[in-house]
Amino acid sequence: MRRTRIIAALAALAALTLAGCGAPGSSGGGGSAAPSGSASGSSTLAACKPVAGDQLVVLEDDKHLQTVDNIIPAVNAKEAQPAMIAALDAVSATLDTPALIALNKQVDVERTTSSQAAQQYYKDAGITVSEKGSGKVVVGAGNFSESATLAELYALALRDAGYDAEVRTIGNRETYEPALESGELTVVPEYAGTLTEFLNKKINGPDATTNNPQASADLDSTVKNLQTLGEKVGLTFGAASKAADENAFAVTTAFAKEHDVKTLSDLAGACGGLVLGGPAECPDRPFCEPGLKQTYGLDVTQFVSLDAGGPLTKQALKSGQITFGLVFSSDAALAQG
């Protein structure tokens, strides 16, 4: 399973700029593929039929419906040293979402190990560190390949900075976050929005993510809130990278080319009669079907219950069963650039 997201905590939110997502395959997906929903009757645009194709591309969320989930190093505050943070920031400075997709493709599709993929990327990106430190550092990784690869990248930079760095896979966030607080782990690659709401709930109670959410579509604001929450549990953070693994909506590259769409606003202006695929709860979640309709004015006339960014949704896109579907922005199946 990939990282646990904040879908359940944000389910009742009315604010459409805030969102979360369950781990792929764990959000009630895998249900019937029969279409549900009814025609909105509000669009004067011609219906755009799904276009089958082997490659998928994300449509830019240009009105910022989704919560940010940029990769950010989370560090035990007592163990943090300036040279350590500088080394982690050197990795963050090179990472963007296309680079993360490429890394995931190497591991998930081409079956390169996370260590091998990280070493090649580290060399190709020309990552260098100037500040030097010393001591033992344990880099924690979640139990999914993206986290493992990022942890290997952090370890490479830390070794260059003079640290004795070990990578240790330690399960899901509920397991590794307390280990990070206690100092069993020194640093973990994290996701800004998801960790912000995880800590918000942990510190302020189970209703905090609904009543007083701290993550949003604004990266600077989210990171500022994350730093405040982190101080309360003994965590500090490096710089957030441009790379993000967050909710996104994809079409086939063939569809994007045929209708000349690059953003969700483009899609809303070009097409009516859209068929949306995603997890079973999508019609009720503000970041999903309701948000797409209210924020973008998309004419979604059918919904197909599939999964959360998993193989069912991707196959439905590729085979032309749905027009667009919920994926994750760093998925290895996505076209780059």
What residue ranges do the domains of the chain occupy?
A: 35-66+246-328, 71-237
305-316 residue pLDDT tens: 999 899 999 999
pLDDT of 19 above 50 = no
- Four-residue CA torsion sign, 175, 176, 177, 180: positive
CATH 3.10.105 applies to domain 71-237: yes
With a cut of 90, say whether residue 232 has pLDDT above it: yes
**Predicted confidence (pLDDT) per residue in 290-301, tens digit:** 999 999 999 999
> Among 27, 29, 35, which Cα is nearest to 9's?
27
For the stretch 108-134, pLDDT in tens is 999 999 999 999 999 999 999 999 999
The pLDDT value given to residue 23: 35
* Cα–Cα distances in angstroms (integers) from residue 31 to residues 34, 35, 63, 322, in the given order: 9, 11, 30, 15
25 vs 188: which has the higher pLDDT: 188
- For the chain, what's the residue count? 337
Q: To 10 degrees, the CA torsion angle through 60, 65, 66, 71?
A: 60
Q: Give yes or no for residue 189 having a pLDDT over 60.
A: yes
Statement: residue 27 has pLDDT above 90: no
Q: Stretch 87-107: mean pLDDT, rounded?
A: 97
Instruction: Tell me the residue type at 231.
Output: E
Indicate the class that CATH gives domain 35-66+246-328.
alpha beta
- Minimum mean pLDDT range among 29-38, 40-49, 87-96, 316-325: 29-38
pLDDT for 218 beyond 60: yes
Which pLDDT band holds residue 32 (cuts at 50, 70, 90)?
very low
Give every CB contact of residue 224 below 8 A, 6+ residues apart in sequence. Answer: none
pLDDT of residue 38 exceeding 50: no
**Mean pLDDT (the chain, rounded):** 88
The confidence score (pLDDT) of residue 44 equals: 82
Whether 35-66+246-328 shares its CATH topology with 71-237 is answered no
Given a cut of 80, whether residue 13 has pLDDT beyond it is: no
What letter does residue 284 receive in the DSSP assignment? G
